[in-house]
A and B are shown apart, each in its own frame.
Chain A
Amino acid sequence: MLKISIDKLDALFEAISAEQTLYIPADREDGAAEYKKYKSGMKLSNALNTVRSAKDFFFPQTENLVDFKMEGKNIEVIDIRKESEDFVIFGVRACDARSFTILDKVFLCEPVDSYYKTRREHGTVVTMACTRPAETCFCGTFGIDAAAPEGDAACYSDGESIFFEAHNEKGQKFIDSISSLLEDGDTSKLDETREKTRAILKKLPLANLSTDAFGGDKLMEHFNSDKWGELSESCLGCGTCTFVCPTCQCYDIKDFNTGHGIKRFRCWDSCMYSDFTKMAHGNPRLTQLERFRQRFMHKLVYFPSNNNGEFGCVGCGRCLSKCPISMNIVKVMKALEVK
């Protein structure tokens, strides 16, 4: 397998960013990690995950769609899209990589979301295998192997070197573009690291979490469960879980009056908010109970029902560590699976 020594990472990043825009997870002052546009001297974060997921790259939190200009009774519609550039996201974890597959199912089915599609075509996802999963990780529950991530190309670290493996044409192209920096390497130590990681994954506190009790055919049983009241009781109705989630894909489209025209933009929406699904007659989800239920029913029942059994969660654990009151999908699953 082709590899590069870890102390040559800077040179690698320089080489990639000379060709196209490169994003890497970097440490912030407050200790949290966040994807940043690579600039010389920036270091790859050691953190397991970024606060915000990598979905921003394909589905940004806010995005201007179109402008309108009005003169008298005429409305001019202006397409504001610019030429898209190729970019590389480096160091995506296995969970986030899987989230793209889930987002693709939503945005690339008919009618295709062209904004999303363009970004997808221009972006190369280079994943990084995990070696130190956290207690909040439960990607295994959804059949994800953190030690062998998906993505266009994958990287594996054995502590000294980083090995590259292409998964498709785009990934191969990426590896070819940096091949002058790479050398052939022995993977015996890597295989060892990988086995070690898998052993840790099996021992994680949430390793036994199962999706057996969920799926498209469990609709009525869960929808009418009397557990929702207790589970949603302390929910603040903030959007933290949905905004840090790599798979939440709901959005709102709004018009902003600039005083000299209209900007139509879309932004992430959250089913936790009181104006979500609000229509002319009002809101069908009157209390936090229904809003809370919607989020988990969507991930555990509706989504698999519409997508051949695939769940709308990748077990990244962000909501577990970020929810202000620590209510999350794991607690919901554990409560609901008890008959």
Chain B
Amino acid sequence: MQVNENKEFQPLIVAFCCNWCSYAGADLSGTNRLNYPSNVKIIRVPCSCRVNPMFILRAFQKGADGVILCGCHPGDCHYTSGNYFTRRRMTLLFSMLDFLGIERDRTRVEWVSAAEGAKFAATMNEFTEAVKKLGPNRRLEDLRCRKQ
């Protein structure tokens, strides 16, 4: 994303959403006509635990300023335990990013059920605002991918 002098910085947010809960939650927020920023690009995954740390890093490489991972609430995973593994993995990954000095607020995990359209919209609004404050992703950016 570019910083335009006339326009305020618009971050690019990548949201990985699990097929069974969060993607349906996003759907519900749409049918309920709740607003969430168009900066958010949703990638549907079968389960939050499908998201491997490399997906997150590659999203940053290709220009994301923030990456959020949404899945079913713990205990509600369609595959019983997928999101429990996600939780451990992402905790460790985020902790490592923080250890390397990469802004910790660029990454987040949020549990959103199929019934929580309002929560989905609120989460995305809040996350987009938080990333907007951080400005463009520079520490985990691939310079080759920056648009000149």
Contact = CB atoms under 8 A, between A and B. Distances in A.
Interface of A: 256, 258-260, 263
Interface string B131-145: 000000000001011
Contact of B147 (A256, A260, A263): A260
Q: DSSP class of B's interface residues: helix, strand, loop or mixed?
A: loop
10 contacts: A256-B144, A258-B142, A258-B144, A258-B145, A259-B62, A259-B63, A259-B145, A260-B145, A260-B147, A263-B144
Nearest to A263: B144
Given A256-B144, A260-B147, A263-B144, 7 more contacts: A258-B142, A258-B144, A258-B145, A259-B62, A259-B63, A259-B145, A260-B145
Interface in B116-148: 142, 144-145, 147
Nearest to A260: B147
Most B CB within 10 A of own CB, among A256, A259, A263: A259
Question: On chain B, which size bracket covers the interface?
Answer: under 10
Contacts of B147: 260
A262 B63 CA distance: 15
A18 B147 CA distance: 34
A180 B122 CA distance: 71
A258 B62 CA distance: 7
Contacts of A258: 142, 144-145
A229 B119 CA distance: 63
Nearest to B142: A258
Most B CB within 10 A of own CB, among A258, A260, A263: A258
B90 to A, nearest CB: 25
Contacts of A256: 144
Contacts of B63: 259
Interface in B89-134: none
Contacts of A259: 62-63, 145
A240 to B, nearest CB: 24
Contacts of A260: 145, 147
Contacts of B142: 258
A263 B145 CA distance: 10
A263 B147 CA distance: 13
B124 to A, nearest CB: 23
A37 B113 CA distance: 56
B73 to A, nearest CB: 34
B107 to A, nearest CB: 20
Most A CB within 10 A of own CB, among B62, B63, B142, B145: B145
B144 to A, nearest CB: 5
The 8 A-B pairs of least Cβ separation, nearest first, read A258-B145, A258-B144, A259-B62, A259-B145, A263-B144, A260-B147, A256-B144, A259-B63
A127 B63 CA distance: 44
Nearest to A64: B144
Contacts of B62: 259
A263 B148 CA distance: 14
Nearest to B63: A259
A201 B145 CA distance: 51
A256 B62 CA distance: 12
